[in-house]
Amino acid sequence: MGKIIAIHSYKGGTGKTLLSINLAALYADRGKSVALLDLDFRAPSLHAIFKMPHGEYWLNDYLNGVCEIRKVLVDLSQTHAKRGRFLVGLANPSTEAIREMTAKDRKWEMNALGRLLSLKTSLLNDMQLDYVIFDTSPGLQYSSINAIVSSDVALVVSSTDISDIKGTHRMIDELYDLFEKKTGLIMNKVLTEVLASKTERADLAKQLMNKYNFPLMEMIPCFCDVLRTGGTTILATENPEHPFIKTLDRVATSIENL
């Protein structure tokens, strides 16, 4: 049985989308069948990164009960997977669609939760996918909580900013634990000097794990050259030897073993 992984954060700009895309590409390179779904309906971004024609339908349509999930997925295996299968589902980036998604009522959100929960059957059982990755909205919004409830593993991405750390701490305590989620924390964009010094690195890890009780999975340094690409390249495909990808490869293995 495959796994649904929700990639989430308390604050925006932590690198969720970059991690989601490269994690999906890494699994595809390992020969796995992967679907990457853009569940950030307030700020969709995968359409801009993959520069692909969208499928017959958007993920918005799937959650609206208009179509089956198969009709949303676009197969990018030829261009983005050396061995496995790489499927992508896009959120509608039009202003009208974003406005519409933010104005949904509780009944709609309940139905959307049902549709997300049923992905376990349609994608993992029927389509035999190994991994489904949800790229979610930051913070505690309906769409992101729905995504977390529907996932098997929640991967939280945080920066070293104290407001982010404290918010992440509250979120894990008051949300993830309530739904008994397997959780992993990735500290992203950590200052290179901190990670270069063994003492500082150990101190930070100790503080995160002891003081905040974080399930720390990995600390990723801030790579200026990754930021410089501006999201125009998928490093796991184009530069698999990059240290960022090597670090993410360990995350991929940790999730496999969860």
Chain positions contacting other proteins, by CB under 8 A:
61, 64-66, 106-111, 113-114, 117-118, 120, 142, 145-146, 149, 175, 178-180
CB-nearer residue toward other proteins: 110 or 209 = 110
**Count of CB atoms situated within 10 Å of the CB of 240:** 15
CB-nearer residue toward other proteins: 121 or 213 = 121
| Locus of tokens 């999975």 | 217
Q: How far is the CB of 246 from other proteins (least distance, A)?
A: 36
CA distance 250 to 253: 5
Q: How far is the CB of 109 from other proteins (least distance, A)?
A: 5
Q: How far is the CB of 115 from other proteins (least distance, A)?
A: 9
CB-nearer residue toward other proteins: 162 or 178 = 178
CB-nearer residue toward other proteins: 90 or 186 = 90
* Cβ atoms of residues 73 and 87 within 8 Å: yes
3-class SS of residue 236: helix
Q: How far is the CB of 149 from other proteins (least distance, A)?
A: 6
Amino acid in the structure at residue 6:
A
Phi, psi of 243 (to 5 degrees): -55, -30
Bridge partners, residue 135, by sequence: 7, 38
Q: How far is the CB of 111 from other proteins (least distance, A)?
A: 5
CA distance 248 to 236: 9
Bridge partners, residue 157, by sequence: 186
CA atoms within 13 A on the CB side of 101: 27
CB-nearer residue toward other proteins: 154 or 234 = 154
Q: How far is the CB of 23 from other proteins (least distance, A)?
A: 24
Bridge partners, residue 132, by sequence: 4, 35
Bridge partners, residue 190, by sequence: 221
CB-nearer residue toward other proteins: 145 or 219 = 145
